[in-house]
Amino acid sequence: MNKKGIFEVSIYAPFALILFALILIVAWFLFSAPARPTTDVIKSVESSRINLLLINYLRTPVDEEKNIADFIVESFKKSNYEKLGSETRNEFEKLTRQILDPLYPETMCYNWNLQIKLMPDDKELLFIFNKGRLFTPPTADTSIDVPLIEKPSKYLRVRLYEEC
Amino acid sequence: MKSKKASFIISSEMVIWIWRFLFLIVVSIIFVFILSSYVHREIKIADLQENILITRLLYSQNCFGYEDVRIYPGIIDLEKFNEENLKKCIAHENRIKFKLTLSNEANEIKTIKDEEEIDDLIPLCEIKEKPFTCFNETKYVLIKNEKKEFNKGFLNIFGVIEK
């Protein structure tokens, strides 16, 4: 670049930058307002709701001495960790439906599944649902392991999951 | 007086500058569009706010949670379930109103609200454009009564949050 060129650039460059900034500001006011905002919905504490529901469900008293968790352990101990007899199963199902059905209206979260498995054998012992067995990934999912005093290496996994 | 050569240079320079301006404007608009798509991000926290408030009602010892040496989340102490405690619990939340109904399987046990006017707002929740958001949720809870017995219960939480 010759001397004349350097001189011209030094005169024009600051003005060009100011002009660019001015055009940017004007363009910002003119074109940024109609731009559709991206919407992020935060639902990070959703999981605590179903966790608390399952905890409360398991500690619900069945009679003066035992709660549902005790009832589950006792029932499966009697059935030698096989599927429950129809009478016990009906009683258990009735108890569960009294608690869970009112919480799952037709709108919003409508389908709940409750599964009890003997672990680590991964053997399904009981399955209760209100609308149908969920095969798609659930909206919320939680489980609690209930230890077995008689069989220290094994435990019952009570899993509650739902579709919204 | 300007010479013919000078006026030719000025006019040709002007034509070049018009193109430069147009180019600059187009670049600026593209730049603003790209940038604004990142800057204009709307974060909806209504669900989060609702969940945090409900969690506070159930978990906090200053609200209704039953406690002995520790707090039992999700167990409502019937002695603590009153309007005075509700007001204390949401004391710093001026934009929020609550109506809580505690019931067992058959009957309503108790209803509390922090402000009487919340009943007037219930029918307005159906309106689309309103200056507040409503939520209505039922939670399964255990109720600890005066005899220290635990019973099944449902807590219906109706809330209004001013926008």
Residue B125, Cα to own-chain centre: how many angstroms?
Answer: 15
**Which residues on adjacent β-strands are paired with residue A155?**
A119, A147
pLDDT tens-digit map of B62-111? 888 898 888 888 899 998 888 888 888 887 777 888 889 999 877 888 88
Give the pair of three-digit tokens for residue B56: 């506070």
Contact at CB, A31 and B36, closer than 8 angstroms: yes
- From A59-68, B55-64, B151-160, the region with the lowest mean pLDDT: B55-64
Q: Which of A38-52, A94-108, B51-65 has the lowest mean pLDDT?
A: A38-52
Q: Which residue has the higher pLDDT, B152 or A41?
A: B152
B154 neighbors B140 (Cβ within 8 angstroms): yes
pTM (two decimals): 0.72
For residue B152, what is the nearest residue in chain A, using CA coordinates?
A60
The per-residue pLDDT for B101 is 92
Q: How far is CA A40 from CA A37, A43, A103, B51, in A?
A: 9, 10, 27, 16
Rounded CA-CA distance A64/B91 in Å is: 38
* Residue A128: both structure tokens together: 């209760």
- Binary contact (A98, B152; C-beta < 8 A): yes
| Mean pLDDT score across all residues of chain A | 82
> CB-CB: which of B29, B139, B152 is closest to A31?
B29
Which residues are bridge partners to B85 per DSSP? none
- Mean pLDDT over A106-130 rounds to 87
pLDDT of residue B15: 79
Query: What is the average pLDDT across A110-128?
Result: 90
pLDDT score for B146: 85
> How would residue A38 be classed by pLDDT, with cut points 50, 70 and 90?
low
pLDDT of A36 strictly over 60: no
Whether a cis peptide bond, with omega within 30° of 0, leads into A120 is yes
- Encoded tokens for A33: 């307002």
Residues of A in contact with B53 (CB under 8 A): none
**A4 has a pLDDT exceeding 80:** no
Nearest to B156 by CA among A112, A114, A105: A105
Q: Which of A39, A45, A60 sits opposite B42 (nearest CB)?
A: A39
Q: Of A155, A74, A60, which Cα lies nearest the Cα of A117?
A: A155
Mean pLDDT of A72-82: 89
Interface test with chain A among B24, B36, B104, by most A beta carbons within 10 Å: B36
Distances (CA, A) of B28 to A1, A20, B22: 28, 8, 10
pLDDT at A54: 93
| β pairing state of B96-103 and B150-162 | antiparallel
pLDDT in tens, B1-52: 556 777 777 777 777 888 888 888 888 888 877 877 777 667 777 777 888 8
Q: Which residue from B47, B138, B142 is facing A60, i.e. has the nearest CB?
A: B142
Predicted confidence at residue B153, as pLDDT, reads 92
Asked if A78 contacts A118 with a C-beta cutoff of 8 angstroms, the reply is: no
**Quick check: A106 pLDDT over 70?**
no
CA dist B44 → A38, A161, B126, B136, B151 (Å): 10, 25, 20, 18, 37
| Measured CA distances, B145 to A99, B78, B79, B89, B152 (Å) | 19, 5, 7, 20, 11
Strands B96-103 and B41-44, by their bridges, are unpaired
Average pLDDT over residues A128-137: 84
Query: Cα B69–B70–B71 angle (5° rounding)?
Result: 140
CA B130/CA B163 separation, integer angstroms: 9
- Tell me which residue in B32, B138, B140 faces A27 most closely, judged by beta carbons: B32
Using a CB-CB cut-off of 8 Å, the residues of chain A touching B75 are 56
List of residues 6+ apart from B122 with CB closer than 8 A:
B99, B134, B158
pLDDT of residue A19: 81
Instruction: Map tokens 């409503």 to a residue.
Output: B134
Q: Verify whether the Cβ–Cβ distance B40 to A38 is below 8 Å.
A: yes
